[in-house]
Amino acid sequence: MWVQFKYEENKPLLNVQLVKGDETFDGLGLVDSGAEMTIAHTDIAKFLGIDELSCSRKPVGGIVGDNANGFVCEVDLYVKYLPDALTIPVLFVPNLRVSLLLGHNGFFDSYHIKFQRDSDIFEISRSPLKKYGKK
Partner 1 sequence: MKKVLQFKHKEMEKIIEAPHIEKLIKKDHENKWVAFSDDYKKIVDFSESLKELQEKVGKSKVVYYKVFPSDVVLAP
Interacting residues toward partner 1 by CB under 8 A = 1-9, 11, 13, 15, 25-28, 30, 32, 34-35, 41, 43-44, 46-47, 62-64, 81, 96-99, 101, 121, 123
Tally of CB atoms within 10 A around 61: 9
Q: Which residue lies nearer to partner 1 by CB, 13 or 86?
A: 13
Q: How far is the CB of 3 from partner 1 (least distance, A)?
A: 5
Q: How far is the CB of 73 from partner 1 (least distance, A)?
A: 16
Q: Which residue lies nearer to partner 1 by CB, 13 or 88?
A: 13
101 in Cβ contact with 29 (< 8 Å): yes
One-character DSSP codes across 35-95: -SBEEEEHHHHHHTT--GGGSEEEEE--SSS--EEEEEEEEEEEETTSSS-EEEEEEEETT
122 in Cβ contact with 31 (< 8 Å): yes
Q: Which residue lies nearer to partner 1 by CB, 64 or 129?
A: 64
Q: Which residue lies nearer to partner 1 by CB, 15 or 127?
A: 15
CA 34 to CA 11: how far, in whole Å? 14
Q: How far is the CB of 97 from partner 1 (least distance, A)?
A: 6
Q: How far is the CB of 81 from partner 1 (least distance, A)?
A: 5
